[in-house]
Amino acid sequence: MKLGVFAVLFGEKSLEEALDYIAESGLETVEIGCGPYPGKAHCNPAELLADKAKLTAFAKAVSSRGLEISALSCHGNPLHPNAEVARQAHEDFENAVRLAGELGVKNVITFSGCPGESEFSRNPVWVTCPWPPEYLEVLKWQWQEKVIPYWSEQDKFLKTNGVRVAIEAHPGFVVYNTETCLRLRESCGDSIGVNFDPSHLFWQQMDPIVAIKDIAKAGALFHFHAKDTAIDNQNTAQNGVLDTKPYADELHRSWIFRTVGYGHGEETWRNIISTLQMVGYQGAISIEHEDSLMSVEEGFQKAVSFLKQQIIQEKVGEMWWA
């Protein structure tokens, strides 16, 4: 396994400045944002695909610093009921896939997307319970009419470009847990897998260890995000885990995103890294920082220090057993 970072964290730096800092911090991989939600601060696929010299310079900027690209990320909603939003997300995804193919990058990360409840919707509708019964009718319609047709077609496109998509399970989209991850893959094709982010599972009360094993068994563990979640037991006891208060309202939320080790301790993360090792994962451990209680610098450096120790322990253990 190789330690890396999702470089949108350093969006205020130039690409070269960000890569210098990442390399100086002792990391080996970089995940680069190139789509709707992460933005395109360091990478605009359409521009690079249109200019061979720019594409070559981009690739050299990464490789000359001893880094490799673990993934291109373009988190968006290609199933959005607003046709223009869906079109832009789809276009960004296609360009990211084409660029990944040109660069020899295996993974493109995105969300599954979420349609509306019918052809007349204006916004996405995420179904969270089976009753009243029309909710299940909406869910059935979403998968049969929108989700499966779209991603079946993308599976063909991905294979044509020699790339795979790592879907990040995220509440608010149709793929949000292990079951829905595997349903998408089984329904649409084996170029579709998972960008495993424990932070979105923790607050749903899922066990990342169980999920990693199930997803790896299906051959779907493509990429990994290192991000934590802290649960406020008092607020959760009062209101449950479904929380729509702004992320900045940390005091009153049931849970917030944290730097690794600040939501769940060393034992939990040691077990996660060990499980990744046991299932044969050899990809990136990509730090994603969304901790509103820490600065970019503090959160990043704490995550680097914490994860380096866990990965070193795993490598020492592996050598001892060998």
Report strand pairing: 192-196 vs 68-73: unpaired
Question: CA-to-CA distance for 96 and 30, rounded, in angstroms?
Answer: 15
Map out the domains of the chain as residue ranges. 2-321
Helix locations, the chain, DSSP H? 15-24, 45-50, 52-63, 83-103, 134-141, 148-161, 178-188, 198-202, 208-217, 233-239, 266-278, 296-321
Report strand pairing: 68-73 vs 228-231: unpaired
Quick one: DSSP state of residue 9?
A: G
Per the structure block, which two tokens stand in for 222? Answer: 């493509």
Instruction: Domain 2-321: give its CATH architecture.
Output: Alpha-Beta Barrel (3.20)
Question: CA-to-CA distance for 212 and 275, rounded, in angstroms?
Answer: 7
List Cβ neighbours of 111 (8 Å cut-off, separation of 6 or more).
75, 76, 77, 167, 168, 170, 173, 175
What pTM was computed for the model? 0.96
pLDDT in tens, the chain (322 residues): 999 999 999 999 999 999 999 999 999 999 999 999 989 999 999 999 999 999 999 999 999 999 999 999 999 999 999 999 999 999 999 999 999 999 999 999 999 999 999 999 999 999 999 999 999 999 999 999 999 999 999 999 999 999 999 999 999 999 999 999 999 999 999 999 999 999 999 999 999 999 999 999 999 999 999 999 999 999 999 999 999 999 999 999 999 999 999 999 999 999 999 999 999 999 999 999 999 999 999 999 999 999 999 887 765 455 444 5
Longest dimension (CA), the chain: 61
> What does 32-80 look like in DSSP terms, one character per residue?
EE-BTTTBSSS--HHHHHH-HHHHHHHHHHHHTTT-EEEEEE----TT-
